[in-house]
Structure 1
Amino acid sequence: MPSFDVVSEVDMQELRNAVDQTQREIDTRYDFKGTAAAIELNEMELTLFGDAEFQVEQVMDILVQKIAKRGIDVGCLEPGKLEEGGGKARRVVKVLAGIETDTARKIVKLIKEAKLKVQAAIQGDKVRVTGKKRDDLQEVIALLRQADVGLPLQYNNFRD
């Protein structure tokens, strides 16, 4: 029976490249000369540094631009609160990867409400959709693309 997986993942190599490009641009831009503007990548977390809120926002804008150019969905970034103190500012940005249980339930509910002849099952941080016809699975993909689940979704492992 045909099936596919609904996942939410980020290509870490592309993310690392985008962060490196952002840091390179920060190093070469005239308005950042002699400032504490920087960006760090730790596991699934980005930390943006600057002398003021304005600089942190500038770094965020550069990062979003570089990430979009690299083909990563910007929706996978979840900016945290801006922390200011001691003449410095920083913001922690979480990188969302994997589908949480609540979101997975929401996806399964959407699929079941559509009354298509498919089965959806939660398997860890992904949702496996199985059906008898390939056309039904393609309808599910179209349905999920239109629905707003709050995460960028990818569809992989499509098998006949």
Structure 2
Amino acid sequence: MPSFDIVSETDMQEMSNAVNQVIKEITTRFDFKASKASIELGDDTITVVGDDINKLNTVTEILRAKLVRRKLEPSCLEYEDAEDASGGTKRQLIRIKQGVSTDLAKAIVKQIKQEKMKVQAAIQGDQVRVTGKKRDDLQQVMTLVRGMDTDRPLSFTNFRD
């Protein structure tokens, strides 16, 4: 029976490349000369430091531009409030969204059931497995999910026929 998984994954290698490009741009730009601005990639977080809120916003805008250039969705980032850091600088923590949250998974399953499609949707951890008898039904579900307004980019993996 054909099936596929709805997941939300961020390519961390591409994220690392984007952050490295931002670091390179910060070191070469004239408006960042003698600035304490920096960016650092953690496991599931990005820490941005700037002299003031304007430099902080500039660094995050550069990051967004680099993500788009590397074909990563900027919606995979969740920005927290800027806070004061040592030396009179500002620090902002950016979380990288991974996996389908339970609320989003429930909303996806509910939407599929409301459309009365001939498929079964089941939540499995941080992904949603959709099974059906026909490949066309599964493609309709993909179209439906792409049209949904979600807080993170969704992709379809593990398509089995």
TM bucket normalised to smaller: over 0.9
Q: Residue 142 in 1 paired to residue 139 in 2?
A: no
Q: Secondary structure at the match of 2:21?
A: helix
AA aligned opposite 2:72: I
Match of 2:32 in 1: 32
Q: Deviations over 1:53-111 (max 9, x none)?
A: 00000000000000111111111000100113552111100000101111111111111
Aligned position for 2:6: 6
Distance 2:152 2:24 in 1: 29
Aligned twin of 1:154: 155
- Quick check: 1:120–1:128 contact (8 Å CA) kept in 2? yes
1:83 is aligned to 83
SS of the equivalent of 2:47 reads: strand
**1:65-80 paired onto structure 2 within 5 Å:** 65-80=65-80
Match of 1:21 in 2: 21
How far apart, CA to CA, are the structure 2 residues paired with 1:5 and 1:54? 41
1:109 and 1:46 map into 2 onto residues whose CA distance is 33
- After TM superposition, give the deviation of residue 149 of structure 1 in Å: 2.2
Structure 1 contact 53–84 (Cα < 8 Å) conserved: no
TM score, norm. by length of structure 1: 0.98
Runs of 4 or more above 6 Å deviation: none
Q: State the alpha-carbon separation in 1 of the partners of residues 99 and 129 from structure 2.
A: 13
TM-score (norm 2): 0.97
Residue 16 of structure 1 aligns with an amino acid whose one-letter code is S
Q: 1:52 — aligned with what? A: 52
Say how many residue pairs are matched.
160
Which amino acid in the other structure matches residue 10 of structure 2? V
* Partner-residue secondary structure (3-state), 1:81: coil
Indicate the residue corresponding to 2:112 in structure 1. Answer: 111
SS of alignment partner, residue 105 of structure 2: helix
Q: Which amino acid is the alignment partner of residue 5 of structure 1?
A: D
Partner of 2:133: 132
CA distance in 1, matches of 2:3, 2:103: 22
RMSD (Å) for aligned C-alpha atoms? 0.8
Q: Give ranges in structure 2 of 5+ residues lacking alignment.
A: none
Structure 1 unaligned blocks of 5 or more: none
Q: Structure 1 residue 150: deviation in Å?
A: 1.6
Residues 9-41 of structure 1: CA distance to partner in whole angstroms, max 9, x if unpaired? Answer: 000000000000000000100100111111001
| Contact 1:52-1:84 at 8 Å conserved across structures | no
